Structure 1
Amino acid sequence: MKANRLVGTLTAATLSLTGLIIAAPSADAATCYASSCHHKDPTSTGCNSGAITARSKTAPDGTIVELRYSATCRAAWGRIRNSHVGAEAFVENTQGQNDSQFVSTGRDVYTLMVSDKDIQAHACYATNGGSGFAACTGWY
């Protein structure tokens, strides 16, 4: 039995070194790119995998507004954290694509995506009812 394990280990090591073992595609492979991501969910498309917070701003009430960006998808979305029910997250790019989402439960929410390929986007936070922006990130 030890001999079988040793042979299996040596075979796997040899195949790995010679490049014959091919990695399976990532389960997080993105399903959209740039404009095809418009109004899609960053989580269900895999765009949230490896995404960064490109810009952030803290509002006077402590709500954190973030512009999230995926280099893989070339798309951006807004996210607010530490907020309240009724607060609105908003994202917009320089081509006028936008989306907004309200916090319905809890304290956090994120928007759907907008394209961010060769253009810029920013995210904003509005207090109850979206009557006016309380804080916006810089453009990225």
Structure 2
Amino acid sequence: MEPAATTCANDAVTALVGHDYGIRIELRYSAHCRAAWAKMSGTTAGDRVMVTPKQGNAQEYRQQYGHDAHTKMVPASTPGDARACALVDDRGTVCATEPPTQAGSGSGARAAVAHRMQGAPPARRYRGRAGLSPTAPLPPGR
């Protein structure tokens, strides 16, 4: 389902972010809808954005034009139930792995994000060849 076509965007928060290759990837999460989606910005046509739930099918979108794009929603009881990655043409893959930092956000906002993040998977970053699977396991010790 398209986030903009529902009320899910109304309570959505950016649960995790990632930055690399000049782009930003976000894992967006709606507690009311129990759903997550991926949003990327600073991108170009041909780049892909993907959200992968713990259970169910991943959603992927190949950017057609402009400088940002997002996926459809996937079921997620918590932000930790999904992973958001951008596959940047000819550069590599970057995933949303860090809590967002916002100017002017107080400790209450950080505490709310930390509470929502309980159960989130460990941070993962994928560098190297374009097309590296954002769902591939990391080597031991990482």
User: How well do the aligned residues superpose, as a CA RMSD in angstroms?
Assistant: 1.9
Structure 1 residue 133: deviation in Å?
5.1
Q: Which runs of 5+ in 2 are unaligned?
A: 98-119, 122-142
Q: Which position in structure 1 is the counterpart of 2:48?
A: 88
Deviation at 1:117, TM superposition (A): 1.7
- Look up the match of 1:56: 17
- After superposition, the C-alpha distances for 1:59-109 in whole angstroms (9 at most, x for unaligned) are 1x1110100000110100001011111110000011142101111110100
Q: Name the SS of the counterpart of 1:72 in structure 2.
A: coil
Give the AA of the match of 1:115.
P
Q: TM-score, normalised by structure 1?
A: 0.64
Q: Identity over the aligned pairs, expressed in percent?
A: 32
Alignment coverage as a number of residue pairs = 98
The one-letter code of the counterpart of 1:95 is Q
Letter of the 1:135 partner, please give it.
V
Partner of 1:122: 83
Q: Which runs of 5+ in 1 are unaligned?
A: 1-39
The alpha-carbon deviation at position 46 of structure 1 amounts to 1.5
4+ runs of 1 displaced by more than 4 Å? none
State which structure, 1 or 2, has the greater radius of gyration over its C-alpha atoms: 1
TM-score if structure 2 supplies the norm length? 0.63
1:103 to 52, 63, 82: 63
- Match of 2:93? 134
SS in structure 1 at match of 2:18: strand
Q: Give the residue type in structure 2 aligned to 1:88.
A: R
Task: Note if contact 1:124-1:133 (Cα within 8 Å) is conserved in structure 2.
Answer: no
